[in-house]
Amino acid sequence: MKYQSTQFVIKTSKQCNLRCQYCYEFSELHKSDVMTMAQIESMYRHIESYYRSLEIPVAIHFIWHGGEPLLISPQFYWEALDLQAKIFASNHYQITNGVQTNLTILDDERLLLLAEGFDRVGVSVDIFGDLRVYENGRDSQARVLANMDRLREAEIPFGCITVLSKKNINNVEQIYQFYRKLGLSARLLPLHQTSNQGQNSGIEIDPHSVLKAFQTIFDLWLADEEFVWIVPVIEMVTEVLNFYDPSVACNFYDKREWEGINLVNITGDLYGYADAYEIDLSYGNLFTTPLGELFSGKKHEQSILAAEQRLEQTCVNCKFFGACCGYPIAENGYEYNELDPDGAIRCIVHKGMLQYIEYRLIEEGIINGGIVDLQRLKVAQVDREVQHV
């Protein structure tokens, strides 16, 4: 059965034992409030009633996020998962759960939760930069690496997220080698701009340095006989291959048709990915209002129109539009891009990477006369269907 996928990022609590300089939750990290089970039940029911009304079967991926989600008692998650299994019992759904953790706290109870409760575990670790520190300023990485060893010993699969900032962007080759050596997949996430002025002072990066870092990763990947899974570079390779493959149907991001990523704040306020925490742009409250009502509301329509306008201004003239669905511009908005005087966005990083990958594959003779020699790429391991969920 083919399921249409969507993702709900759930901000269960903002409390965290770390104080990473770039954290976009920084002002709330001391708050110990946690979503109540009654709120989680309303959220589930409001989500379920909407997807039940659709004819297509739906794969829903819940990502439990914070703050540090593992500060909360594992019992909380077992209850939330039990409740979820009851509410989404129909085979109309394929439900998975992931957790994004700083992995500084790992007792036996939490190890069991990661092994048997969650389907996916994401670990945040920057490898270089010393920005992931405890409240007293002490670096957390030694503890995280030791706990990653415990996950490996317990055979719990996990992937990592590394935030790229000025403190580690010149170390991307070592970061690549780190993940290669451990056989881990990773997502490189360029430093997120926060609304707190001055918070990222001294560690900001510009789109051109992000592009250069991703180009370095691609060159390492291309020359490597091992397959190292580094997102978003792998997704970009897939898009270039799809561009050259006439059998792959064009794929255009259509927010009006489908929301792939939804963020639920601890307050219940629901956001699209591009609009997170801009309360005026929230679609409304998922604790109190059914998802279908929020999706047909005025705020959702505004968000759709803004995404459509970004696609119209930037993507329709891009030669890769269709192989790249336009999501990076539609939902990432202005980050890691520059604006033309008429307000159009220049797609510095994503388009720059697609152009670079194409150029390098032609230079290496892997693309020749418009035909891709797949035997010369580790492409069999690439899932050719790019889904930004």
Q: Is 299 in the site for ligand SF4 (CB under 6 A)?
A: no
Q: Is 238 in the site for ligand SF4 (CB under 6 A)?
A: no
Q: Which residue is listed with tokens 């149907």?
A: 249
> Which residue, 189 or 222, has its beta carbon nearer to ligand SF4?
189
Beta strand extents in 87-232 (DSSP E only): 93-101, 120-124, 159-164, 186-190, 230-231
Q: Is 162 in the site for ligand SF4 (CB under 6 A)?
A: no
Check: CB of residue 241 under 8 Å from CB of residue 382: yes
> Which residue, 127 or 294, has its beta carbon nearer to ligand SF4?
127
Residues 337-366 that bind ligand SF4 (CB under 6 A): 347, 350-351, 354
The piece of 18-26, 39-47, 181-189, 374-382 that touches ligand SF4 (CB under 6 A) is 18-26
The CA distance from 331 to 328, in Å, is: 6
**Collapsing DSSP states into helix, strand and coil, what is residue 84?**
helix
The CA distance from 170 to 164, in Å, is: 9
Work out whether strand 230-231 and strand 269-272 pair parallel, antiparallel, or are unpaired: unpaired
Q: Is 253 in the site for ligand SF4 (CB under 6 A)?
A: no
Q: Is 148 in the site for ligand SF4 (CB under 6 A)?
A: no
Q: Is 117 in the site for ligand SF4 (CB under 6 A)?
A: no
Write the secondary structure of 239-273 as one string of H (helix), E (strand) and C (coil). HHHHHCCCCCCCCCCCCCCCCCEEEECCCCEEEEH
- Residue 95 CB, shortest distance to ligand SF4, in Å, is 25
> What are the residues whose beta carbons fall under 8 Å from the beta carbon of 158, sequence distance 6 or more?
114, 120, 121, 122, 123, 148, 151, 184
Residues 68-97 that bind ligand SF4 (CB under 6 A): 68
Q: Is 13 in the site for ligand SF4 (CB under 6 A)?
A: no
> Which residue, 8 or 320, has its beta carbon nearer to ligand SF4?
320
Residues 320-339 that bind ligand SF4 (CB under 6 A): 320-321, 324, 326, 328-329
**Binding ligand SF4 by CB under 6 A: which of 25, 126, 259, 275?**
25
The piece of 60-68, 90-98, 212-220, 224-232 that touches ligand SF4 (CB under 6 A) is 60-68
> 125-129: long-range contacts (C-beta < 8 A, 24 or more apart)?
125/160, 125/161, 125/162, 126/162, 126/163, 126/165, 126/167, 126/168, 127/162, 127/168, 127/171, 127/174, 127/175, 127/178, 128/167, 128/168, 128/171, 128/174, 128/175, 129/165, 129/167, 129/168, 129/171, 129/203
- Residue 351 CB, shortest distance to ligand SF4, in Å, is 4
Q: Is 18 in the site for ligand SF4 (CB under 6 A)?
A: yes
Beta bridge partners of 188: 162
Half-sphere exposure of 1 (CA within 13 A, CB side): 12
- Residue 41 CB, shortest distance to ligand SF4, in Å, is 25
> Which residue, 72 or 324, has its beta carbon nearer to ligand SF4?
324
Q: Is 200 in the site for ligand SF4 (CB under 6 A)?
A: no
Beta bridge partners of 18: 134
Check: CB of residue 331 under 8 Å from CB of residue 317: no
> Which residue, 54 or 146, has its beta carbon nearer to ligand SF4?
146
- Residue 34 CB, shortest distance to ligand SF4, in Å, is 14
> Which residue, 58 or 367, has its beta carbon nearer to ligand SF4?
367
If binding means CB under 6 A, how many residues of this protein chain bind ligand SF4? 26
Q: Is 300 in the site for ligand SF4 (CB under 6 A)?
A: no
Check: CB of residue 8 under 8 Å from CB of residue 262: yes
The CA distance from 215 to 213, in Å, is: 5
28 to 57: interface string for ligand SF4, x by CB under 6 A: -x----------------------------
Check: CB of residue 331 under 8 Å from CB of residue 261: yes
- Residue 193 CB, shortest distance to ligand SF4, in Å, is 14
- Residue 294: Cβ-neighbour burial (10 angstroms; 0-12, 13-18, 19+): buried
Residues 257-296 that bind ligand SF4 (CB under 6 A): none
> Where along the sequence are the contacts to ligand SF4 (CB under 6 A)?
16, 18-20, 23, 25, 29, 66-68, 102, 124, 132, 314-315, 318, 320-321, 324, 326, 328-329, 347, 350-351, 354
